[in-house]
Structure 1
Amino acid sequence: MNVMLIFAHRWIGVALALFMLTWISSGTLIAFVEAPSISPGLRLLRTQALEPREGWLSLGEALARSAVARRGEPGNDAGFADARLRRLDGTPAWIIEDGRGQRFAISAIDGGLIEVTPQKAERIASAWLEVEAEEAPDISYIGTIDAPIGLRNAEALKPFHRFAVDDGLGTQVIVSARTGEVVQKLTRTQRAVAYAGNWLHLFRWLDSIGAADYRRGALSCAGFLAATAALTGLVVGWIRWRPGLFGRPTYLGGRVQPFREFWLKYHFWAGLLGGTFALSWAASGFLSTNPGQIFSSANTSPAELSHFRGERPAAIIWEWKPGAPLAISEDVLELQWSRLGDAAKLFALTRRGERRRVDLQGTIGSYSEAELLAAAGRVAGETKIAAHELIDSYDAYYYPNHRQTAEDKPLPALRVDLADAKHSSFYLDPLQGRLVAKLDDSLRWRRWLYSAAHHWDFGWFRNAGVWSVWIGTCIGSVIVLSLSALVLGWRRLRRSVRPVTARFPIPRIARVTKTSAAPSTTQQVSP
């Protein structure tokens, strides 16, 4: 058994030594370097002031007039998920997300479907940059792409227009061709870090060579093999460790490990200290790919969101027209509708990041508990609600991770527990009427087997300082382990593939040196 463990650990380690070092190093960049995307708050911060005017179209009118351009979809489409009014290149526009998750922009002037051409996107990018630099730098169009490096969960916004900024830093700006929103701004250095992080760690390079369909499978296999190497190494290390406790024997000379050579000793101690972290990250990385679909989806589907909002929105949403008499301040950048069933609220988002409710006739001040429970019941279907509780502090399953803010996981929240075999739960935002998160038994397991083991986002580790010190220490120990594995793997590989003649030398025949000419004894016979 020991021989098999050593054999498996040795040769999987030889195959994956460089991979593990690269994987851990790229994961370090992801952990400590800010995500290469623009937050919704910053995206909105540099938008033009809305300044509503008389004559702008209501949401219902805009959808009706753009129905033909939107491939014959019904004008009064009750399945819209989100509707925001903002200025797009100076033009007031309704930014719509429909029930299928598709996004598009409709002019609030004439109801036309807005096409974000490269020229329009260039003006948007210039205006957005001017807010930061007080003077618009020169930019040039590079091309249109589908997947900017490091930009996640952006399928509904693609394709994207890419522009180069003449600022001496190699900056590039990415603008969505669907909604005209600036979604990314990266310097040359930030792009290099993004490539070294997300591109390598998540196998995004497979997308670049047309093998995107195989990326999840490749990640799953690599994670499984890495976890196997870490586990077998830990077992072998514990078997070979002889600390001499309780009078038990040690190795010759009182050594507690069997190795004399520097790199072998180095790898042994690095494995005992950092092997647990390597196993934790490799195994949780394997589980992150959801092998065999053992976990439920944590994302709410378009159908679930549609049921949550209800079949038909309130008439005020379709009929209300923005106008000058609207009592909002000059720093309002966007108006956003929220709805649950036949109840509706209108929010104004300001340049300071504030979200204010706009008092309109036909809207409500806040969603009642009954309206929220009714929305949860529509998602649950025939399953009954077992319990509900308004929580004002985060728990083990509802919390903002290290890259999220309170806007992503707001408090207070209404937790709704269902009476089903999976012990499902919903977390609802009472202020905006959103279904923020959902859970079941499999997702609770995933929270601990993947998120806790991979991101260390529980207990004291939610403190940024504690988390940074701990993760830095763990990563350092695993990098030390990976470096020693790389050296030993290279040595093993060289010994295994060197020429046969080097391993089994052919005996050389000694040369005879003549010192004097010997007389010939050969006689010639005449014919």
Structure 2
Amino acid sequence: MRRGLIRTARRWLYIGHRWVGIITCLLFAMWFMSGVVMMYVGFPGLSDKERLAALPDIKWETVALSPDDAMKAAGATRFPRDLRLSMLADEPVYRLTDWDGKRQAISAVDGRAITDISEQQALIVARHHPASRAPRLADIIDRDQWSVTARYDPLRPLYLIALGDEAGTEVYVSSRSGEIALDTNHTERVWNWLGSIPHWIYPTVLRKHGPLWRLVVLWISGVGLIVGISGIWIGILRVRLKRRYGDGRITPYRGWMAWHHVTGLLAGLFVLTWMFSGWMSLNPGDYFVERDTVREAMQRYAGHDAPDIAARLTTPQQGGVVEARFVWLDGGAMMILERRDGASSPVDPTSGAPIHLAQDRLWTAAAKLIPDAHLTGRLTLQQYDAYWYAHHQERELPVLRAVFDDEARTWFHLSPITGDIVGRVDESRRTYRWLFNALHSLDFQLLVMYRPAWDIVVVLLSMLGTMVSVSGVVIGWRYLRR
């Protein structure tokens, strides 16, 4: 009876893997091939460096309102999460983001709230983009394939403006605030239909419903994970390394079945870990905490919470400033000047005098971030390590790491130039780094430091995974034809 049960269980294991695998192998093949594309062409976005490059110099002589006046006009009852000064077409404006995510734009000329941007203003904004040649309005959209995610909701609807350059660059300008929200070019748009869109199952009709999209991808990747486990199990059951099959073969299969069996054994562990890490990327069960720093911690770090910083604003001596951010640090006010090339420098907002941030001041402010914990580690990172690296994104160096002994074992990363909190990770996020980034993208320090070693390894493993998937598709198609 026991042998009969085992035989029946094996039979259903083979049948289940065969028929469910017909669909999942199509998905596997798509994921492996699109993943290779994503190695070199990411989903369109707007980095901070790109955003600054598209801003004109601030016309300080036209700034009539102080930051305090702007916060009063916006009705701020505490210092906002973000406060900055930049140009909107030919007019300087203060942009405020509250702790609840609400955004406001206040004219620095007359204090009026800016809530509606004309087509002409949007075209002037677009003309300052480095790729601008002959900008024209292409469309007014609420949501499309490239602006599908919820991060753009406060900025909708969007002016879609074609810049007329050879790369086919298009920019999205908010009709509410006049900010450039996103830019894309022809190469990105074409290759993403072969990369990120199929890989993430990202069609607009599904992705615009965030919770539904997450649930669909969780189930699809979860089923794929089960198919991968069953495939490895079957492969091990059917392989013979000592008492081999006829002609000295290790597999009982021939043709495409043999290819599927052998390549599945060779790439099985990679396929399985890749499927598992892809499933983990969606944070099932919401186990991994968010990386955002809560308002209370930021207020303790700033040492100030009232809606004031400078009743009188002094024009800085430095030229070429495209944006000014206003922040508090350990009870001291700062205006951080941003230039088009991404360089930052803090100055006193009322005198314009440069501010040099001593590390002792930063450590003193950092010690207040978690009041019930001790600052047990003060590290200055001169090189990237396993938790602070720039493989898929730009990250500042050197950077300070403040290590706490709280229950979550939290680390904060601080900019030694501006004092900004540029990163926060705790024990759960460090675990996530290994369960997702390391397993899914092979972001191991030894590989990413010596490219193209990373490219070669990932492409070869993806080719093996594609062979497993394509052979499974062929086998499935033959079964369906019967």
- Do both proteins adopt the same fold according to a TM-score greater than 0.5, normalized to the shorter chain? yes
The counterpart of 1:287, out of the listed 259, 280, 284, is 280
The counterpart of 1:469, out of the listed 453, 456, 459, is 456
- What whole-Å deviation, never above 9, does each CA across 1:150-176 have from its counterpart, x for those lacking one? 676834753141325384876532113
1:420 is aligned to: 406
Q: Could you tell me which amino acid in structure 2 is paired with residue 404 of structure 1?
A: Q
2:111 is aligned to: 111
Mapping for residues 47-446 of structure 1, pairs under 5 Å: 47-53=55-61, 56-65=64-73, 67=74, 73-74=75-76, 77-129=77-129, 131-133=130-132, 135-137=133-135, 139-146=136-143, 149=146, 154-155=151-152, 157-165=154-162, 167=164, 171-205=169-203, 207-208=205-206, 211-243=209-241, 248-260=242-254, 262-312=255-305, 317-323=309-315, 326-329=316-319, 331-358=320-347, 361=351, 365-400=355-390, 402-406=391-395, 410-446=396-432
How far apart are residue 281 of structure 1 and its match? Answer: 1.5
1:20 paired with 2:7, answer no
How far apart are residue 89 of structure 1 and its match? Answer: 0.6
| Structure 2 Cα separation of the partners of residues 233 and 223 of structure 1 | 15
| 2:317 and 2:352 in contact (8 A); partners too | no
| Structure 2 Cα separation of the partners of residues 187 and 369 of structure 1 | 41
How far apart are residue 47 of structure 1 and its match? Answer: 1.9
| Structure 2 Cα separation of the partners of residues 390 and 56 of structure 1 | 41
1:508 is aligned to: none
Segment of structure 1 superposing worse, 34-43 or 302-311:
302-311
| 2:84 and 2:324 in contact (8 A); partners too | yes
How far apart are residue 267 of structure 1 and its match? Answer: 1.1
| Structure 1 Cα separation of the partners of residues 153 and 207 of structure 2 | 23
1:45 is aligned to: 53
How far apart are residue 26 of structure 1 and its match? Answer: 2.8
| Structure 2 Cα separation of the partners of residues 178 and 304 of structure 1 | 31
1:484 paired with 2:479, answer no
Q: Could you tell me which amino acid in structure 2 is paired with residue 473 of structure 1?
A: L
Q: 1:336 to 1:380 in 2, by over 3 A?
A: same
* TM-score for both structures, normalised by structure 2: 0.88
How far apart are residue 58 of structure 1 and its match? Answer: 0.7
Q: Could you tell me which amino acid in structure 1 is paired with residue 20 of structure 2?
A: I
- What whole-Å deviation, never above 9, does each CA across 1:188-227 have from its counterpart, x for those lacking one? 5532333443333223336548643211111111111111
* TM-score for both structures, normalised by structure 1: 0.81
How far apart are residue 377 of structure 1 and its match? Answer: 4.1
2:3 is aligned to: none
User: Which has the higher Rg, Structure 1 or Structure 2?
Assistant: 1
RMSD across aligned positions (CA): 2.9
Q: 1:60 to 1:353 in 2, by over 3 A?
A: same
Q: 1:20 to 1:301 in 2, by over 3 A?
A: farther
| Structure 2 Cα separation of the partners of residues 359 and 311 of structure 1 | 16
* Secondary structure at 1:417 match in 2: strand
How far apart are residue 347 of structure 1 and its match? Answer: 2.5
| Structure 1 Cα separation of the partners of residues 363 and 341 of structure 2 | 32
Segment of structure 1 superposing worse, 102-111 or 179-188:
179-188
| 2:346 and 2:418 in contact (8 A); partners too | no
How far apart are residue 376 of structure 1 and its match? Answer: 3.5
| 2:412 and 2:425 in contact (8 A); partners too | yes
Report sequence identity in percent. Answer: 27
Structure 1: gaps of 5 or more residues: 68-72, 496-527
Structure 2: gaps of 5 or more residues: 1-5
How far apart are residue 373 of structure 1 and its match? Answer: 3.9
- What whole-Å deviation, never above 9, does each CA across 1:424-464 have from its counterpart, x for those lacking one? 22222232222222222222221111110011112222234
Segment of structure 1 superposing worse, 362-371 or 213-222:
362-371
Q: 1:458 to 1:178 in 2, by over 3 A?
A: farther
| Structure 2 Cα separation of the partners of residues 55 and 438 of structure 1 | 35
| 1:101 and 1:302 in contact (8 A); partners too | no
How far apart are residue 368 of structure 1 and its match? Answer: 4.2
| Structure 1 Cα separation of the partners of residues 95 and 61 of structure 2 | 17
Aligned length: 471
